[in-house]
Amino acid sequence: MEVGYVWSFIYALITAIFIRWIIKRVIILVKLPPGPWGLPLVGYLPWITKDAYKSFIDIAKLHGGLFSVNLGSETVVILNDWKSVKATLIDQPKVFSGRKYLKLTEATIQNNDVAWSEGNVWQIQRKLTLKCLTNIGLVNKSMESHIVDLVQEVTEKLTRYNNKEVPMESMFFSSILQTNWKFVSVDPIDNNKLREYEDAIKELFKRFHPDNPLLIFEWLRFIPPNGFGYKAILKASQVVTNTLRETINSHLNEWKDGDVNDFIDYYIAEIKKRQVSGQKNEKPFTIDNLLGSVFDMFTAGVDTINSTCLWAFLFLTYNPDIQRKAQQELDAVVGRLRMPNLYDFTNLPYIEAIIMEVHRKASLAPLAVPHRTMEDAKVFGYTIPKGTTCYPNIYAIHNDSTLWDKPEEFNPARFLDNNNKVVWPSYLIPFSVGPRACLGKHLAQMELKIIIASLLHKFNFKCPIGSENSSFAIENGLTLHPQPYSLLIQLRND
């Protein structure tokens, strides 16, 4: 008899919890921005293509620029137009400054970096990382001269192919990686390690694309034999973190007060300052957070610039008139006797506009990095509950025909006014917007300006005979790459 009562009680309890859950879901669904229904457990996933950012554009046609959609069992909100991005990431910066929690990032870098941390720790670490980055521009060799070395190296590689086809895929990555290494550590990195490192970073970016089922159904990591790529992610991140930890340890072992030469030294100096003043070394003033910040520079900071360069030379090759006009501007402003530098950019509006158009057309990080609401948010009369994942659809905004004239065309002139001055519209957002916007934006722009201007100054880029009408296939990863391609390269006559 007593056992019967216990069972009745358990049933009643489970039913009550279930009903409460359903009521809560219905209330949330009624208050959330509208969206398609989908199916239990998988949500709307069966209708979402590999290019999720394109599927979201189709959903927006029916449900508007701000909509909710179930990805698996999670309800996420898509900010599919500029109005929605502005009303959230810009107008309510603190509320939308959270990050989606992923077991995957917890397992790789323990969310000790800038990109995946949240709240107070994130805010302080972001400021500290930016401060260290700014300071290293002032000590050791300046950032610009490191980038000039990078250009020199790429130029040598390209020159070997003069009047031949060059596989562009392998031209930039290792040189950019080495340049970022020089900012981070003055200790040289051995070539074998560099190659191992390059493979590991590429692996991480390939696996971290938003359509990877592992990012939606995180329990897949337990499925044999390799947890849907989970083991490969762990292995690759270990390769990166092991080398970084060794380098940080050698900086710690050789630490001398006042002898600050690179990013790692700067961060350690900040940690030591707190020790001297008797403060506890709480996050982010720890070696693990230093490791996290440096990890971001080699993951977020290398693949992005590599891909942007690949897109730039592809677009310029298939738009020869634009390439020629850019070279004419360079010849008039810089001349043929020296290479372009950052100071020239006050007089290189067309080249600057080309880089902006590359950012727009490539929309490298189409869904940015997923945000999370830190508290309940009101947007256009809807309620987005605390803890909701939100994706800004940068690709949709960059291809919105209500914002851009013929968005499908590659046309740098759209960024020049009647006085030939560059105008950056607020809705050109390759680095996203708000307090979470890309931390490396200035470094990225500096690298891209020098690389693109210098190589255009030095070479002609032509499409190989017979491939004039090729389409630009995209490879999905955390960022969008063009599929490997070759170009015909020619040294320009001086």
* Residue 368 contacts ligand HEM per CB under 6 A: yes
Which residue number is nearest to ligand HEM in terms of Cβ? 440
Nearest residue (CB) to ligand HEM, 334 versus 433: 433
Three-class secondary structure of residue 142 per DSSP = coil
What is residue 416's DSSP assignment?
B
For ligand HEM, the binding residue among 38, 65, 292, 301 (CB under 6 A) is 301
Rg of the Cα trace of the chain?
Answer: 25
Least distance (Å) between residue 385 CB and ligand HEM: 20
User: Cβ of 22: how many Cβ atoms within 10 Å?
Assistant: 10
Least distance (Å) between residue 285 CB and ligand HEM: 18
Nearest residue (CB) to ligand HEM, 179 versus 460: 179
* Residue 416 contacts ligand HEM per CB under 6 A: no
* Residue 309 contacts ligand HEM per CB under 6 A: no
Nearest residue (CB) to ligand HEM, 51 versus 165: 51
438 labeled binding residue? yes
Residue 135 Rama label (left phi>0; alpha psi -120 to 50; beta): alpha
Instruction: Please enumerate in sequence order all residues whose Cβ is within 8 A of that of 273, keeping only pairs 6 or more positions apart, or say none.
Output: none
What is residue 463's DSSP assignment?
P
Strand order in the sheet with 74-79: 66-71, 74-79, 389-392, 371-372, 98-99
Rounded Cα–Cα distance for residues 394 and 341 (Å): 30
Least distance (Å) between residue 393 CB and ligand HEM: 11
Instruction: Please enumerate in sequence order all residues whose Cβ is within 8 A of that of 406, keeping only pairs 6 or more positions apart, or say none.
Output: none
Least distance (Å) between residue 420 CB and ligand HEM: 25
Site residue total, ligand HEM (CB under 6 A): 25
* Residue 126 contacts ligand HEM per CB under 6 A: yes
Q: Could you tell me if 474 and 364 are in contact, meaning their C-beta atoms sit under 8 angstroms apart?
A: no
For ligand HEM, the binding residue among 60, 305, 351, 356 (CB under 6 A) is 305
Nearest residue (CB) to ligand HEM, 70 versus 111: 111
Rounded Cα–Cα distance for residues 107 and 80 (Å): 30
Nearest residue (CB) to ligand HEM, 35 versus 440: 440
* Residue 150 contacts ligand HEM per CB under 6 A: no
User: Cβ of 344: how many Cβ atoms within 10 Å?
Assistant: 19
Instruction: Compose the 70-109 pattern: x for residues touching ligand HEM by CB under 6 A, - for all others.
Output: ----------------------------------------
* Residue 304 contacts ligand HEM per CB under 6 A: yes
For ligand HEM, the binding residue among 48, 356, 369, 456 (CB under 6 A) is 369
What is residue 222's DSSP assignment?
G
Q: Per CB under 6 A, which of residues 427..466 are in contact with ligand HEM?
A: 430-432, 436-440, 443-444
* Residue 367 contacts ligand HEM per CB under 6 A: no
Nearest residue (CB) to ligand HEM, 335 versus 435: 435
DSSP 426-492: TT--TT--STTS-TTHHHHHHHHHHHHHHHHHHEEEEPPTT-TT----EE-SSS-EEPP-EEEEEEP
Stretch that binds ligand HEM, among 56-64, 214-222, 302-310, 403-411 (CB under 6 A): 302-310
For residue 144, the Cα-to-chain-centroid distance in whole angstroms is 22
Q: What is the largest CA-CA distance in the chain?
A: 99
For ligand HEM, the binding residue among 76, 168, 364, 428 (CB under 6 A) is 364
Rounded Cα–Cα distance for residues 447 and 146 (Å): 9
* Residue 114 contacts ligand HEM per CB under 6 A: yes
Reported as half-sphere exposure (CB side, CA atoms, 13 A), residue 129 has a value of: 26
Least distance (Å) between residue 365 CB and ligand HEM: 4
Rounded Cα–Cα distance for residues 377 and 351 (Å): 41
Least distance (Å) between residue 99 CB and ligand HEM: 7
For ligand HEM, the binding residue among 204, 300, 312, 377 (CB under 6 A) is 300
For ligand HEM, the binding residue among 81, 296, 357, 400 (CB under 6 A) is 296
Q: Could you tell me if 116 and 453 are in contact, meaning their C-beta atoms sit under 8 angstroms apart?
A: no
Burial 103-115 (b: 16+ CB within 10 A, else e): ebbeebbebbbbb
Q: Could you tell me if 154 and 455 are in contact, meaning their C-beta atoms sit under 8 angstroms apart?
A: yes
Instruction: Compose the 317-356 pattern: x for residues touching ligand HEM by CB under 6 A, - for all others.
Output: ----------------------------------------
Nearest residue (CB) to ligand HEM, 284 versus 301: 301
For residue 369, the Cα-to-chain-centroid distance in whole angstroms is 7
Tokens coding 312:
């730039």
Rounded Cα–Cα distance for residues 110 and 122 (Å): 13
Rounded Cα–Cα distance for residues 93 and 86 (Å): 10
Nearest residue (CB) to ligand HEM, 314 versus 463: 314
Q: Could you tell me if 181 and 201 are in contact, meaning their C-beta atoms sit under 8 angstroms apart?
A: no
Nearest residue (CB) to ligand HEM, 161 versus 285: 285
Question: Residue numbers of the site for ligand HEM (CB under 6 A)?
Answer: 114-115, 126, 296-297, 300-301, 304-305, 308, 364-365, 368-369, 371, 430-432, 436-440, 443-444
Q: From the annotation, which residues make up the binding site for heme? A: 438
